[in-house]
Chains A and B, each alone.
Chain A
């Protein structure tokens, strides 16, 4: 089974600074693989162990996203490709999905595509489903457990409970952060990671013009960003008894 794993390099903190143009200042913060993507990678590695085949990791981002791809190789991924070019920069979710779809077609022949269900920085959770829609393949987001056999069976977590879906191939799954815990790198993995060649792909190699990618092509635009403390209240310090007495008075409708 050929599996494509889409990963994103994200800042290892929620303390993120912004540039003047409201794009993320990513330069001074430790960068890690997005946690939900780790889960997707682990599922891909386990599935390859069961069924054979190969695992390719794909990312779009600046040059330094290469470290995240090498990390994936150290854990066991076979190949890695990086979409890095100034023309890719500033893409919104639709255009990110477009570029990843073009790369998936270019690399070709995947039975499965797996992603994290959302990135910790943007938290939109849109790129995976959009990628599936553009490739016109079945998609199950928010997966906790999946089994690739004759059919693909995936358990999806929703507000109302768990849905078990069956699908054919190729298909795209997005995984929850805690679904599969990514294995540690092995010594031979680390050696491979150092030596591995990371394929670089530019818009031209994907058959995309400059007008079709990056911020130029993106239908959405961030026009204003504001640091806004949410729901700040004056806190009265009390012990538990004081609070319960105060609550009887302040919100009798909520108390017995």
Chain B
């Protein structure tokens, strides 16, 4: 079995997918399709580093990926479910006329050697298992953060390298500018996440949460409804269509606990929920529940931590 894994520049999702590919199909040949020449893909278990590079035109890049997949002929192709990963996988699947499952949270190989793709469906109330029996490759995008990055091994001598960076594609888009996101981008690897929902009321509410997060050395998370309401940027969104986090501590302020959100934080070691509604579903996902106004509670915690740190 041949498995291709798309590895984005400056992100570790590809490494996690290589680890997953190795674990679910130990005898497979894993080819890392890389935007940058990163030897880490080899020490994480890939048999081959196929260096594709990255052209500053996502459509052209997607055409190149489709070409490479056509040539390599893998049985399975995995992509990180980031904005670019989702786009490239969708474009390539259409070009190859094959099936693609978006935003998977679990993968396994069935007895008859088919990739079983599991994803939350229908508003995340359900999980669905999806198969692509006939067409190849079987393609899936995988939500960032659901699989751990494997520990690196030293066995890299017998691994192969190929340079595909010369592959040309017609130009469709021109990148005029890139504005990096403001701080807190390390959400997916944060040790502490302080998150807010629509109940936080606005951007000022999130400013308070940011102070608390900074004191705890953590990052700020948000629900989709808070992001949709414009309280905070999309980069902070935790959940089905955002980031999956696995912190030591997750504190949820003013979050109702829709399953679309909780799927993104259920791997947290300890969860504290603060909500004025005792029946809010978030308390079913919490180890500790505080039924109180969020601001009052946040201010209390702030005070508590400042005292601990000797800041007061």
Contact = CB atoms under 8 A, between A and B. Distances in A.
Interface residues of A, number: 82
A247 B272 contact: yes
A218 B185 CA distance: 37
A132 B82 CA distance: 19
Interface string B271-312: 111100000000111111111100011001100110011000
A16 B248 contact: no
B83 A165 contact: no
Contacts of A137: 172
Contacts of A176: 234
B130 A220 contact: yes
A227 to B, nearest CB: 5
B94 A240 contact: no
A232 B285 contact: yes
Q: Is the interface of B mostly helix, strand, loop or mixed?
A: mixed
A121 interface: yes
A18 B121 CA distance: 11
Nearest to A174: B87
Interface residues of B, number: 100
Interface in A1-28: 13-16, 18, 22, 24
Nearest to B310: A256
Given A133-B90, A159-B181, A163-B175, A124 B289 contact: no
A56 interface: no
18 contacts: A93-B100, A94-B94, A94-B97, A125-B102, A126-B93, A129-B87, A129-B91, A133-B90, A165-B176, A224-B128, A224-B129, A225-B126, A226-B127, A230-B266, A231-B262, A240-B304, A247-B272, A251-B269
Interface of B: 10, 58-59, 62, 82-84, 86-87, 90-95, 97-103, 116, 121-135, 144, 172-181, 185, 191-192, 215-218, 228-230, 233-235, 240-241, 243, 247-249, 258-260, 262-263, 265-267, 269-274, 283-292, 296-297, 300-301, 304-305, 308-309
Interface of A: 13-16, 18, 22, 24, 92-94, 97, 118, 120-126, 128-134, 137-142, 153, 156-167, 176-178, 218-241, 243-244, 246-247, 250-251, 253-256
Given A177-B228, A255-B216, 7 more contacts: A93-B100, A126-B93, A139-B91, A223-B130, A231-B265, A244-B304, A253-B191
